[in-house]
Each structure stands twice: as structure tokens, then as C-alpha cells.
Amino acid sequence: MALIKSVRGFTPQIGKNVFLADNATIIGDVVIGDDCSIWFNAVLRGDVNSIRIGKRVNIQDGAVVHTLYEKSVAEIGDDVSLGHNVVVHGAKIENGALIGMGAIVLDHAVVGEGALVAAGSVVLSGTHVELGCIYGGTPAKFIKKMDPEQSKEINQKIATQYLMYSEWYK
């Protein structure tokens, strides 16, 4: 059973039809929307500030979502995929974005709607990843603009697949 822990008077709020892997950790001021999946060894640590997660979000194995005390919050929109071992620290990830495996997105960065951050990239604090664009590298830089249909196909497909995968575990 997932570790769900209250801290500083905050108890995680979890929506309907959410899959929490047995060793997922959800702590403090965390709100998770409906139809999400939080996978093995993922940690959502809302101990120092708030974490807000939309609907149909998948946070894959080993991912960490955290914030800075009194300085940043983590906001993740609807239909977002955070790949294996991703770190989102006090950043905003807008609807339909995909953060590739092992990427790091730092405080006050914004990843725009339908954008893709390539695996292993580091999005520095304050960076704005434009709507529907691919960013990659360390530090992450603009690579190309995606066709909106291509973005939707890639990003939405993964989000939908993870909703299906989570049903296998219920």
C-alpha cells in the first residue's frame, strides 16, 4: 500500500480512480485529480509547499515532485506524463506536456501546453518552454516546434496508455 502521510496539518487529497503503486509516497499538501497514476518509487513531497496535479496525469517510476519552502509550488496540468526518474521541483507543467525520462525541471520554470522536454534534459529555473515545442539538452534549449497534431498524438497517446496500464493493477 502506498505511503500517504500528513505533515504540518496537510493531508494529501486523492481523486477518483487513481492508481497508487504499492511503494509510491504522497506527503503533505498534495492534491491529485481523477484518473491519475503514481507509479513505483514515485515521491510527491508536499511538505514545504503545495503540489497540484490535474486529471489523467501519470507520474512514472522513480519520479520526484517537490518545491522550495515558501518560494515555489509545483503545478501539473491535465494529461501530463512525467517519465521514469523525472524531477519536477517547484515548476509548472501545462496540459498535455511530456517530460522525458530522467529530465529535471527546476523552480519557476514553465513547460507550455503540449510541449516535450527530451529525456535527460535540465530545464533551468525560470525557463519558459514554449507551447508545443521540443526542448532538450543541458541546459535545455529550443530544438523545434512540433506540429500540433504530432504533439497531441505523441503526448496524448502516452497519457492514455498509462491510464490503461494502471487498470491492470487495480
Distances (CA, A) of 89 to 58, 86, 108: 16, 10, 8
Q: What is the pLDDT of residue 121?
A: 98
What are the tens digits of pLDDT across the range 40-60?
999 999 999 999 999 999 999
Find out whether 76 and 82 touch, Cβ atoms under 8 Å: yes
CATH number, domain of 38, equals: 2.160.10.10
Dihedrals phi, psi of 121, to nearest 5 degrees: -80, 160
% of the chain surpassing 70 pLDDT: 100
What is the tally of structural domains in the chain? 1
For residue 8, pLDDT beyond 90: yes
Mean pLDDT of the chain: 96
For residue 152, pLDDT beyond 90: no
For residue 156, pLDDT beyond 90: no
SS (H, E, C) the chain: CCEEECECCECCEECCCCEECCCCEEEEEEEECCCCEECCCCEEEEEEEEEEECCCCEECCCCEEECCCCCCCEEECCCCEECCCCEEECCEECCCCEECCCCEECCCCEECCCCEECCCCEECCCCEECCCEEEECCCCEEEEECCHHHHHHHHHHHHHHHHHHHHHCC
For residue 151, pLDDT beyond 90: no
Q: What is the pLDDT of residue 149?
A: 83
Q: Residue 65's domain spans which residues?
A: 3-168
What are the tens digits of pLDDT across the range 73-132?
999 999 999 999 999 999 999 999 999 999 999 999 999 999 999 999 999 999 999 999
Q: What is the pLDDT of residue 170?
A: 82
- Mean pLDDT, rounded, for 16-42: 98
Q: Could you tell me which residues come within 8 angstroms of residue 105 by beta carbon, excluding any fewer than 6 positions away?
A: 86, 87, 88, 89, 91, 93, 99, 111, 117, 123
Q: What is the pLDDT of residue 154?
A: 85
